[in-house]
Amino acid sequence: MSSTRKLAAQKQRALEILVRLKRLYPEAPCTLNYETPVQLLVATILSAQCTDERVNLVTPELFRRFPDAVALANAEVGELEQLVRSTGFYRNKAKNIQAACRQIVSDYGGHVPKTMEELLKLPGVARKTANVVLAHAYGIHAGVTVDTHVKRLSQRLGLTQHSDPIRIERDLMQLLPQPDWENWSIRLIYHGRAVCTARNPACDSCVLADLCPTADPSKVVPPPVPKVTSTPL
């Protein structure tokens, strides 16, 4: 198959996957709790190597004490560390949150910037965090968020051969329409948590099984063979 036809077939398959995931998860809100773009940025930094549930346990008190960029920029770093301690890597996270907020206050008047370029200059912010903030806080689709679930599922679904998140993102941006970039990520995250888990993918109950080149055949239940009611002449 020529590379152009192969790409067209991949695009069609990616779209069909997205249609099914939208049907399965019609509402797929961001699972981090926040009220402002700054709070989303902070929660996303905290979510590195940590579950969203754990982050959501920590942020109510964190945001009660330090609700905005100015408060976080001026916080006593030891107190910040204690508040975020249970999310892991807490010293680094507290340091990055404060440094990012100081830059947001000094360079952007206390508001999270709205471009990828500016976001990537903030300490502790890589493309994954920037994509989440742009998409969920501002509705801007600058790229595809590639977290551990998006990486694993995109690989299993045969939509990328890469393991580097930047290359995976590039592949996905080529396959999916831009307005659906975040729709894709958030639904793959839901599906990765509920069905296609890292250790034990439930291929037998997966709506994507017939579109998935790595579906476990021992688990996939074949569709019922239609009964023949009359023999055609």
The residues annotated with a catalytic role in the active site are 128, 147
> Which of 157, 168, 172, 186 touches ligand SF4 by CB under 6 A?
157
Nearest distance from residue 153's CB to ligand SF4, in Å?
6
Cβ pair 83, 70 in contact under 8 A:
no
Site string for ligand SF4, 104-133 (x = CB under 6 A): ------------------------------
CA dihedral angle for residue 73, residue 78, residue 84, residue 85, rounded to 10 degrees: 160
Query: Does 166 sit near ligand SF4 (CB under 6 A)?
Result: no
Compare residues 221 and 228 and give the one whose CB is closer to ligand SF4. 221
Stretch that binds ligand SF4, among 1-9, 109-117, 165-173, 210-218 (CB under 6 A): 210-218
Our CB check for ligand SF4 shows the closer of 8 and 202 to be 202
- Residue 139 and residue 114 in contact, taking contact as beta carbons nearer than 8 Å: no
The amino acid sitting at 56 is N
H/E stretch holding 22 reads: helix 3-24
Stretch that binds ligand SF4, among 18-26, 35-43, 123-131, 203-211 (CB under 6 A): 203-211
159 touches ligand SF4 by CB under 6 A: no
CB of 145 to ligand SF4, least distance (A): 18
CA distance 209 to 45: 33
Residue 33: which residues within 8 A CB-CB, separation 6 or more? 43, 56, 59, 60
CB proximity list for 130: less than 8 A, separation 6 or greater: 116, 119, 120, 142, 143
Tokens 């907020």 map to which residue?
A: 101
Please give the structure tokens belonging to residue 195: 């069905």
Among 196, 199, 217, 221, binds ligand SF4 (CB under 6 A): 196
Give the range of 21-29, 67-75, 138-146, 152-160 binding ligand SF4 by CB under 6 A: 152-160
Give yes or no for residue 150 binding ligand SF4 (CB under 6 A).
no
Half-sphere exposure of 107 (CA within 13 A, CB side): 13
Choose the binding region for ligand SF4 from 49-57, 81-89, 172-180, 194-202 (rule: CB under 6 A).
194-202
Distances (CA, A) of 81 to 37, 93, 189, 195: 21, 8, 28, 35
Residues that bind ligand SF4 (CB under 6 A): 153, 156-157, 195-196, 201-203, 206, 208-209, 212, 214-215
